Chains A and B, each alone.
Chain A
């Protein structure tokens, strides 16, 4: 496990990220720019809401017939000369991958982006078995060289400034000292990675969609790294979660229309590649992974998280993610979707509270994953399991009793209004706790809403 997944609460890690205020602003703005591009792309299609509804329904249909579609997918893959493997968890996935590579004496593997292999911690496993793993997506290569995990699922190096990338490339790839022009750095990475593609023994990619009735996998990239990898060496591997399967090509078309638009505002990714068999004299393997997904399907609310197509739109819009960074979450996937699929792995039990329940994520999701509802549900699950963080199990029942009593609430609110009017702020602010750290206390109204209502609208 990477160092950023050490256990500290989301609030604690967020505080570390927030120490550099100008960097937080920069991070937040970069992500908001993606959200704005997404809005323009979505707004340009009159049928946008229809596509979201179709995406949601076809994913839910597939998830509720998943066994049937996975078997159909496997049979059709085999008919196309694709070898299919099943892994119940990350450990088994890694063992299968290693076995395939070891049989072919693979020394160097080029890999395109796959959040699943991050989830399974594949790279360190293969490296411990003497296989060199080269991440080939530019952002992924940057963080691999920096020995960091991704901080975003689509733009994994969003937390780094170009000067930092420049220093890293100077150190690792021999670019000019002090050079930070993105074009220059990207060209240097292109030259460096071309050598890797041409000398690789095998390639691995994630899967965006798996087409059941064709036995094909779809891989989307902008850089072309997945295809440069998969089409040079004679051995190609594709890892997919069980949730990636869709019934047919028509379903894939719906998701391809929303995926890139919702991720970066592009009308489609540069390459949407359909692999329905290996190249001539080549070998193609697909590894289907569960790793906790069937368990999520046993919970009616959590199940809907598996409709996700990993566009990253919910991260870009999330006010908490944008201002706490990808490393503040105790899971490989950060942001709202990370909370939805990763809270059960969070030993600090703080992830479900890294959310204001504003619902912006749900509003932008291209497959209508009810993220705020799922996050709220995680809070309930933590409470039921006796795992409430921050002493919530002690004070929340008291707050509950207090707020349920009309007399107590009315009396104390009246005291609070008076106090806000007559006492100096410096005296009151300590009572507001963390809330008051970056905020001023409110101006007290003259009376309660109830009194105002009775006077103006009451009988």
Chain B
């Protein structure tokens, strides 16, 4: 018998009575979702720019480029100074990546990013700093609502990103900037 068959065979005699799947119906907190999002984004060490818009973001990007920094953008209307390279490894010197997020979650400050908008999947992780752009009417209350709206077609990759990468593995001291981006700025448009 193959291991698969022997595992499935053993699972035919589970000692616990079959349990029904619960109905997942959790009331969302709907007051001021953008305010909630801003608070929770700050909790996870991200910064929200409510009113700067794409113009403000482009001005920021131009400023970074003028400083000689490497900026890649996959957001329509934002121009960086780097194109999507042939290989993921060539992204290793990217200082800033500007990426569109599909939706934002008020309860935890997370933003859903789908690989169709990334060039290479590693882009939001390998860049030193990350800008995410989210439409203001795409902020949902909680993860139950978010999970129903995310795009994750067959073969795809997607990720909820909540703040810059961080660790507290040395004596529980929080350090922002572990392996992924060292900072996260979110622009609502």
Contacts and interface: CB of A to CB of B under 8 A. Distances in A.
B108 A268 contact: yes
A231 B125 contact: yes
A248 to B, nearest CB: 9
A88 B27 CA distance: 41
Contact of B8 (A30, A57, A70, A139): A70
B167 A138 contact: yes
Contacts of A57: 19-22
Nearest to A294: B10
Contacts of B8: 67, 70-71
Contact of B19 (A64, A156, A186, A214): A64
Interface size class of B (residues with CB under 8 A): 35 or more
Interface in B148-189: 148, 150, 152-173, 175, 177-181
B85 to A, nearest CB: 13
Contacts, number: 263
A266 interface: yes
Chain B: interface secondary structure? Answer: loop
A457 interface: no
A279 B110 contact: no
A294 B153 CA distance: 32
Given A198-B89, A277-B156, A186 B16 contact: no
Nearest to B171: A162
The 8 closest A-B pairs by CB, nearest first: A224-B180, A277-B155, A223-B178, A139-B169, A267-B108, A294-B10, A231-B122, A67-B11
Interface in B79-119: 88-89, 92, 105, 107-110
Contacts of B2: 86
B153 to A, nearest CB: 8
B21 A142 contact: no
B51 interface: no
A257 B161 contact: no
A374 to B, nearest CB: 13
A303 B180 contact: no
Given A155-B172, A274-B157, A290 B7 contact: yes
A63 B179 contact: no
B14 interface: yes
The interface centre, meaning the residue of A45, A253, A269, A270 with most chain B CB atoms within 10 A of its CB, is A270
A293 to B, nearest CB: 9
A185 B161 CA distance: 24
The interface centre, meaning the residue of B2, B88, B144, B157 with most chain A CB atoms within 10 A of its CB, is B157
A138 B170 contact: yes
Contacts of B173: 162, 182-183
Contact of B22 (A61, A278, A294): A61
B44 A266 contact: yes
B15 A270 contact: no
